[in-house]
Amino acid sequence: MDLSPTAQVVAQTEAALTEPTILVPGFNDDTPMLHPLVTFLTQEQLNPQPISPQPSNGIVGIEVLAERLAAQIDARFAPEQPLNLFGFSMGGLICRTYVQKLGGAARIRRLVTLATPHQGTWLAYLFNRPACLQMRPGSAFLGDLNSDLSALKQIRFTSLWTPLDLTILPATSSQMKVGETISIVSPFHRALLFDRRVLRRIADILRQPVDRAADTVMNEEWEKR
């Protein structure tokens, strides 16, 4: 029997409560950095599963970290298990590489990136390491990754960013032309993972129906609760 549109939304929301959400930290980080988000999503019954491909200090390329992410996903979850992905900062590029280059779109339902240098960051010039070279504006890696966004159109993709980011320079490098791009006025890069407004927004996105998000850019200036 076909479900009504309302029943379909309810069914998808209930499914989101059991679907694991893989959380991937950023540059030079490990899973402890994700503790506030893990705690919040656990309280929201959203089944967070942190995975930290290493080394995260830039000495190996992002595609290597994506392959290690894929290997850990394959080892921990059955092939038929649908998943959600969240990536913070460089972690968002690792997640995108998995989805766009390694076939991850076949099992990923939602991908949320937070403060990810989708168009690069000038701070990547501080280190002459493979992953940092890839995160420089205009790099061949980013050019290739951004040349074909069709895989992101198959899932619900959302990019969250703050115009006050002093690590992603310019901060607008976190914007994307596919899915939803949402600006939240929150101070500083690393502080985003400690801002309960941001955590609430991530949880809300993970509960949304999995139909592909419309290509929209939203600017949201939220008062602190």
Between CA 165 and CA 117 the distance in angstroms is 11
**pLDDT at residue 128 is higher than 90:** yes
**pLDDT at residue 224 is higher than 50:** no
Angle at alpha carbon of residue 84, lines to 67 and 204, rounded to 5°: 145
Q: How confident is the model at residue 218 (pLDDT cuts 50, 70, 90)?
A: low
| Tens-place pLDDT, residues 142-193 | 999 999 999 999 999 999 999 999 999 999 999 999 999 999 999 899 999 9
Q: Domains plus CATH for the chain?
A: 5-81+91-158+179-220 (3.40.50.1820)
For residue 220, what pLDDT is reported? Answer: 53
DSSP SS3 for 155? coil
Between CA 94 and CA 100 the distance in angstroms is 10
Q: How confident is the model at residue 219 (pLDDT cuts 50, 70, 90)?
A: low
Label residue 185 left, alpha or beta by phi (over 0 means left) and psi (-120 to 50 means alpha).
beta
**Average per-residue pLDDT for the chain:** 91
pTM for this structure? 0.89
**pLDDT at residue 99 is higher than 70:** yes
* Terminal Cα distance for the chain, rounded: 43
Tokens 């129906």 belong to 209
For residue 222, what pLDDT is reported? Answer: 38
Please state the rounded mean pLDDT for residues 57-78: 98
